Amino acid sequence: MRHKKNIKKIKNIALERIDILMSLAEEEAKKNRLDRVKRYVELSRKIAMKMRMPFPKKWKRRICKKCGAFLIFGKNARVRIKSNKCHPHVIITCLDCGNAIKIPMIREKKLKRKVTNK
């Protein structure tokens, strides 16, 4: 039992450190210090991998999977919404490498169905 409690504490500390590093990366991105931003992103990803835990969803969508760049919407990333009837989704494109991330809008679609069915 003692071992499980320690793992939970260590994972909480790791989450805090990832959050701190990513917020620092966001601040440095605003100041245009891209070398520091890339380093902060690398460190936070290494912490998550070392602890064998998923990267927080809040920050996961702000990083390009292909080149590891911190995505700043409007500067090095483009966000578009495709509202097809069968599968609406958001497309985030990294302008550094051209990689596109598609995020389905399933939750919004389900809410819309509930409202129209009532």
Instruction: Please give the domain boundaries of the chain with CATH numbers for all domains.
Output: 1-60 (1.20.5.420), 66-118 (no CATH)
Q: Which residue has the higher pLDDT, 77 or 108?
A: 77
| pTM, entire model | 0.77
- List, in order, residues 6 or more apart from 42 with CB less than 8 Å away: 68
Residues 16 and 8: their CA atoms lie apart, in Å, by: 12
What is the Cα–Cα distance from 45 to 66, expressed in whole angstroms? 13
The closest alpha carbon to 61, from 75, 47, 71, belongs to 71
Asked if residue 114 has pLDDT above 80, the reply is: no
Which tens digits make up the pLDDT trace of 16-57?
999 999 999 999 998 989 899 999 999 999 999 999 999 998
Return the pLDDT at 7: 87
Residues 85-113: tens digit of each pLDDT: 778 889 999 999 999 999 888 776 666 67
What does the alpha-carbon distance between residue 67 and residue 98 come to, in Å, rounded to a whole number? 9
